[in-house]
């Protein structure tokens, strides 16, 4: 069994990697990359050569190309000590046209072009555009020289996958940070140093706190292993998808906190998220200097609301529990009263949910809810339990129909099976047959779907969250697609794929636990 599971997990991982590769090909190679400028006001402000350079810079930022301007190449030569500052100054300025280059510039331009062309780059030289016969450049018409190439798929994939998981260690940051090492404390200084709260802190690590307790679910937190699914370019600029999904939202949560300097004040800063930023204390403003004693100054703020994933999970998990709690008794009732009123009513309901577009009945629920005076939009600022009612119902009722349909089918199939007839002929009571034979067998395929529906709630619900304005994870992908946010698209896809692969494997495991006849090890045959 273990061997089988390991091979399943490995094959699952492989298909997740292929999925990420396919998605990368789709968004980086198939899409017209000029589309990202369609709604960019900055793009049209740039003219002539400057516009070309702006395009390149944006494409590099969005991850399409490797872009190297001539100046960067020269700067690198200086910092590596290959050329001196005077040589740099002589060669950095190149002419409007290749013929007008000074001898020094011509030499380095040649080296630049040959070097990058050999590596598969395309070298572009945009000639200077002057106004008439004067020496004045047109708007954005300065000469430009740069090299670029598309990032190859395999190296893109490799870089992405290797950057996914990072383990923090005491040699993670460069520069002078004092004595590197880990400290263990029983009294977390963030609580004033008197409250009992164990924590592991590091110096030389990226995060100051590696393990700590606080008052938020799941209470014990760690920063030792960080996941980076990919940076967002436009949806949530500069923030990793992982944080976009898991950081709390809404109004700031102000509490009395003790800063590392000992300063106590009302603030929403979460000291536990402190990250090292080189030189930030020396360059920081008065507030930073008052509160911090080292370069671990970059903190996130605590917000009142849940994270995107949190809202999707809360709504989803309640609706899943509700769906199973309703569907199992109702499905059993339909099967027991086959062709009678309960079965017919249930069938009408199932047909309604199966056939009618989901959008239609979600709007119907919304309209009904509005008549009943339930809140129809989600408000993070003044949360009430009532605002969960409509989204939960909209999610639960369709899955009730689906579960009922299948449970009824499986039950009726089992009730017509020969072993049931035999049991009845043998004199077993109807309720005994039902409980220990029919239900037990019929529930197995239902059990297989449980991990998928529990984990599936993490993915969120697109329409429900849109209709009720829930700040959940469901709309992340559609928003990212609309904003051409490639980092988010790849990150979210990876997340979806992992969820789906894991839930299928867990479903199989759960099924084989429920039904000892099912064994995956001897399946070959």
Partner 1 sequence: MEELIDLREFGMSDEELFSPADRDELASERITAPKYSYWSSVFRVFFRKKLNIFLLVLLAVIVAFTYIYPAVIGYDSAVDPYVNLLDPTAKHLMPAQAMEKFGGELKWILGSGASGQSTFDAIWYGSSISLSLALVCALINMTIGVAVGAIWGFSRKVDRFMTEVYNVVANVPYILLISVIVLILSASFWTMVFALTVTGWIGIAYFIRTQVIIIRDREYNLASRCLGTPLHRIAMKNILPFMTSVIVTLAATEIPSYISYEVFLSFIGMGLGDMSLGKLIEASQNAMLTPGWELEFWSPVAVASIITVVLYVVGQNLGDASDPRTHL
Q: Does position 13 bind partner 1 by CB under 8 A?
A: no
CB contact set of 274 (below 8 Å; sequence gap of 6+)? 207, 208, 209, 260, 296, 297, 298, 299
DSSP state of 517: T
Q: Does position 368 bind partner 1 by CB under 8 A?
A: no
Give the interface segment with partner 1, choosing from 222-230, 267-275, 404-412, 487-495 (CB under 8 A): 487-495
Structure tokens at 305: 């609301």
Question: With CB under 8 A, what is the number of residues at the site for partner 1?
Answer: 39
CB of 342 to partner 1, least distance (A): 19
Instruction: Write out the binding residues for partner 1, residues 270-289 only, by CB under 8 A.
Output: none
* Helix or strand (DSSP H, E) at 40: none
Instruction: Write out the binding residues for partner 1, residues 452-481 only, by CB under 8 A.
Output: 462-463, 466, 477-478, 481
Give the whole-angstrom CA distance, residue 478 versus residue 455: 20
Q: Does position 16 bind partner 1 by CB under 8 A?
A: yes
Q: Which is nearer to partner 1, 89 or 413 (CB)?
A: 413
CB of 440 to partner 1, least distance (A): 22
Q: How far is CA 103 from the centre of its chain?
A: 52
Among 186, 355, 372, 425, binds partner 1 (CB under 8 A): 355
Q: Does position 341 bind partner 1 by CB under 8 A?
A: no
Given the structure tokens 């990368």, which residue do they identify? 24
Among 27, 157, 299, 442, binds partner 1 (CB under 8 A): 27
Q: Please give the full DSSP string across 54-101, using - where no structure is assigned.
A: HHHHHHHHTTSEEEEEHHHHHHHHHHTTSS-HHHHHHHH---SSGGG-
C-beta of residue 211 within 8 angstroms of C-beta of residue 218: no
Q: Which is nearer to partner 1, 363 or 520 (CB)?
A: 363
Give the whole-angstrom CA distance, residue 32 versus residue 314: 38
Q: Does position 496 bind partner 1 by CB under 8 A?
A: yes
Residue window 33-72: x/- pattern of binding to partner 1, with contact defined by CB under 8 A: --x-------------------------------------
Output the CA–CA distances (angstroms, integers) from residue 47 to 124, 242, 267, in the order listed: 17, 37, 45
Among 19, 321, 326, 412, binds partner 1 (CB under 8 A): 19
Neighbours of 401 (CB within 10 A): 21
Contact footprint for partner 1 (CB under 8 A): 11-12, 15-16, 18-19, 22-23, 26-27, 30-32, 35, 351-352, 354-360, 363, 367, 462-463, 466, 477-478, 481-482, 489, 492-493, 496-497, 500-501
């Amino acid at each position: 069994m273990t061997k089988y599971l390991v091979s399943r997990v490995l094959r699952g991982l492989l298909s997740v990697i292929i999925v990420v590769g396919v998605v990368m090909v789709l968004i980086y190679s198939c899409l017209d990359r000029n589309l990202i400028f369609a709604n960019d006001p900055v793009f049209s402000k740039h003219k002539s050569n400057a516009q070309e350079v702006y395009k390149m810079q944006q494409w590099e930022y969005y991850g399409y190309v490797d872009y190297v301007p001539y100046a960067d190449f020269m700067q690198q030569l200086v910092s590596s000590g290959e050329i001196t500052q005077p040589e740099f100054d002589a060669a950095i300025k190149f002419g409007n046209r290749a013929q007008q280059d000074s001898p020094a510039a011509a030499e380095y331009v040649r080296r630049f072009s040959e070097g990058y062309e050999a590596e598969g780059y395309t070298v572009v030289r945009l000639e200077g555009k002057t106004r008439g016969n004067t020496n004045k450049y047109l708007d954005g018409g300065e000469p430009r020289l740069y090299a670029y190439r598309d990032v190859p798929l395999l190296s893109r994939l490799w870089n992405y996958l290797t950057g996914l998981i990072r383990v923090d260690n005491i040699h993670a940051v460069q520069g002078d940070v004092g004595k590197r090492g880990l400290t263990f404390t029983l009294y977390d200084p963030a609580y004033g140093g008197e409250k009992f709260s164990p924590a592991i802190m590091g110096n030389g690590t990226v995060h100051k706190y590696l393990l700590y307790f606080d008052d938020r679910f799941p209470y014990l937190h760690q920063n030792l292993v960080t996941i980076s699914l990919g940076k967002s370019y436009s949806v949530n600029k500069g923030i990793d998808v992982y944080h976009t999904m898991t950081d709390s939202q809404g109004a700031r949560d102000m509490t009395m906190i003790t800063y590392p300097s000992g300063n106590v004040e009302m603030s929403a800063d979460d000291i536990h998220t402190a990250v090292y930023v080189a030189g930030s204390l020396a360059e920081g403003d008065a507030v930073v200097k008052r509160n911090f004693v080292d370069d671990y100054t970059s903190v996130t703020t605590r917000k009142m609301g849940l994270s995107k994933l949190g809202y999707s999970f809360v709504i989803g998990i309640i609706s899943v529990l509700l769906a199973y709690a309703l569907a199992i008794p109702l499905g059993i009732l339909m099967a027991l009263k086959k062709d009678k009123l309960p079965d017919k009513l249930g069938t009408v309901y199932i047909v309604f949910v199966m056939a009618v577009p989901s959008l239609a009945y979600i709007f119907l629920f919304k309209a009904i809810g509005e008549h009943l005076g339930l809140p129809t939009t989600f408000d993070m600022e003044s949360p009430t339990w009532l605002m969960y009612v409509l989204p939960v119902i909209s999610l639960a009722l369709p899955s009730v129909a689906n579960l009922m349909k299948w449970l009824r089918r499986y039950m009726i199939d089992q009730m017509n099976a020969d072993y049931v007839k035999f049991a009845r002929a043998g004199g077993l009571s109807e309720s005994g047959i039902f409980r220990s034979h029919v239900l037990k067998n019929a529930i197995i395929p239902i059990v297989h779907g449980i991990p998928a529906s529990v984990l599936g709630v993490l993915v969120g619900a697109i329409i429900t969250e849109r209709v009720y304005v829930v700040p959940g994870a469901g709309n992340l992908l559609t928003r990212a697609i609309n904003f051409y946010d490639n980092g988010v698209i790849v990150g979210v896809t990876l997340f979806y794929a992992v969820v789906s692969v894991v839930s299928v494997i867990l479903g199989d495991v759960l099924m084989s636990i429920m039904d000892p006849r099912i064994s995956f090890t001897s399946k070959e045959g």
